[in-house]
Structures are given as structure tokens and as C-alpha cells.
Amino acid sequence: MPGRFDATLSLTIFNVNIASAIFDCSAPDLDSCPDESLPEFAFIGRSNVGKSSLLNMLAGQEGLARVSPTPGFTKLINMFTINKTWRLVDLPGYGYAHLAKKHSAKFNKAVARYLKHRPNLCCVFALIDSGLEPQAMDVEFIEWLAANSVPFVLVFTKTDKISVTDVQANIAAFKERIAAWFVQPPTSFTCSAELGQGRQELLGVIDESLTAIQAEADAAMQGAGPEPAREMSARERHKKRPDLARPW
Ligand code: GTP
Ligand code: MG
């Protein structure tokens, strides 16, 4: 998993078994976010796709992030510190048409700046509703992530809501829609916060990333340079670099 975290900043032994999950702060914009010393993993996707629910499921703590059936509920960059050593970040969703345009633009600008410029952002979980056929806004958003070299994996949510066959068909159609943008298709997962499905796999993504950071930190401590990346970077995976405006 390519990340942008400076490994030399972190000499902590990580543990992906979640022993503690604590609300840290709500930031209205990038400049208000806490220090950059901890690796971060963020949840993004359309309003109501299940970002806050998935964060709670991974943290194993219902009610940690606030969940609501009302789209546009999460309005700030909400940070949660896990095991005192890394963070989960609940972001406001995009595509909530009913939100006042002025507010909507403000939230989106803050999220875009966070995604583009947060140096300790290791991986973004880009959530897509598995119950829907590909939505233009989601397709464009994934293109935007790729165009801006934001490291991400796809997570198809709410798999409990429709049949396995329909979930698979929607996922295949979505992948087909974004295929042209990638040399290597993005890694993808399915999940259901309702059933607790997908938790181990997504914690595995975090574990892999934290382990890589630790290895780089160890190598830096021993005076060696960081190991050469074994995977293609987000930048390399992306074929074209259109000058995409924020699409959402
Ligand atoms: P915003 O903060 O508004 O952007 O939404 P969000 O993406 O954080 O979604 P949230 O987690 O608040 O969930 C929205 C609604 O979807 C709530 O009613 C949840 O109970 C429901 N929901 C979330 N995940 C699942 C799931 O896996 N299965 C089902 N059936 N419902 C889910
Ligand atoms: Mg939310």
C-alpha cells in the first residue's frame, strides 16, 4: 500500500488488534487537524454510504462515530485515535444535494484539501454502495482520487441489502467503468457494517500499511534507506492525469 507517511517520524510498535478507540477531535478544515505524527486511515464516499458505520465496525465500538439515516450527517473531519498510535478519520460525504450550496462547497473544499495534502494519510477507504449500479458521481470521485495520487482501496458497502448476485453485478459494472484509469485495478473489498462482514480484511489493509511504516522506521534507525517500494505507487497505477476539477 503506497503511503505518504514519513516513517522516520514513527518509531512505535503498532498493533492492529484494537485495544482502545478514542474520539480525538472534529476539525472543520485541514489547518485545524491535529499534528501529523500518527498514521491516518480515512473513510470517504457519498453521504449515507455507511462511512461512520464502517468506522464503528472496524473500531469495534458502536456509537463511536455518529450514525444517522439522514444523508449529510457527518459535517466535520472527525478523528479517532486507535491504540494511541494511529487514527481512523471519518470524513463528510459528498453528493448531498439538499445541503445548502454554500456549506456543501465549504465541506468539500476541506475534504479535498485533507485528501490531497495530509502527509500522514496512509490509505483512504473509498466507499461505494454495493446496492446501486455505478453512479456517475462515484466514478468521477474515484477518477479524482487517482488523478491526485491519493492512495485508496475500494470498499463496497451494505452487502446485506441485496442478493450476492446483484452485489457482484454492481461491483463488476463499477470496476468496468473505472478500468481505463488504472494500469492495475484498485484493490477492492466488500463489507456489511450490519453483519460485521469484511472487518478482518479491512483491518488487514491497515495492518499491512502499519507494518510497512514500522519496517521503514526500523531501516531508518539502522542507517539504511527505506526499502524500495514493492508495489506500484498510486501515481504509477494511474495512466492519465487529466486536470480534473473537484467533481463532487
Ligand atoms: P453521512 O455522514 O451522512 O455522509 O453518512 P455515512 O456515510 O457516515 O453513513 P452512516 O454510517 O451514517 O449510515 C447511513 C445509514 O446507513 C444509517 O441508517 C445506517 O444504519 C445505514 N447503514 C450503514 N451501514 C450499513 C450496512 O452495512 N447495512 C445496512 N443495511 N445499513 C447500513
Ligand atoms: Mg457519517
pLDDT of residue 229: 53
Cell representation of residue 111: 475534504
pLDDT of residue 243: 36
- Indicate which residue's Cα is closest to atom 23 of ligand 1: 50
Q: CA-to-CA distance for 143 and 145, rounded, in angstroms?
A: 5
Q: What distance in angstroms lies between residue 176's CA and the mean position of ligand 2's atoms?
A: 28
What number of helices (H) and strands (E) belong to the chain? 6, 7
Give tens-digit pLDDT for 144-201: 999 999 999 999 999 999 999 999 999 999 999 999 999 999 999 999 999 999 999 9
**In 3-state terms, what secondary structure has residue 182?**
strand
- Ligand 1, CB cutoff 6 Å, lining residues: 45, 47-53, 67-69, 71-74, 93, 157-158, 160-161, 192-194
Q: Name the CATH architecture for the domain at 22-221.
A: 3-Layer(aba) Sandwich (3.40)
**In 3-state terms, what secondary structure has residue 23?**
strand
Q: What single letter denotes the amino acid at residue 178?
A: I
- Indicate which residue's Cα is closest to atom 4 of ligand 1: 47
Backbone angles phi, psi at 172, to 5 degrees: -60, -40
- CA dihedral over 72, 21, 124, 169, signed as positive or negative: negative
Give tens-digit pLDDT for 98-153: 554 555 555 588 999 999 999 999 999 999 999 999 999 999 999 999 999 999 99
- Ligand minimally distant from the alpha carbon of residue 69: 1
Model confidence at 3: pLDDT above 70? no
Least confidently predicted of 11-25, 172-186, 196-210, 223-237: 223-237
Residue among 99, 43, 91, 90 nearest 71 (CA)? 99
Report CA 20 to chain centroid distance, whole Å: 20
- Ligand minimally distant from the alpha carbon of residue 78: 2
Sequence-ordered list of residues with C-beta below 8 angstroms from that of 27, at least 6 positions apart, any chain = 33, 34, 76, 77, 78, 79, 110
Within the chain, strands assigned E span: 21-27, 40-45, 77-82, 86-90, 121-129, 152-157, 188-190
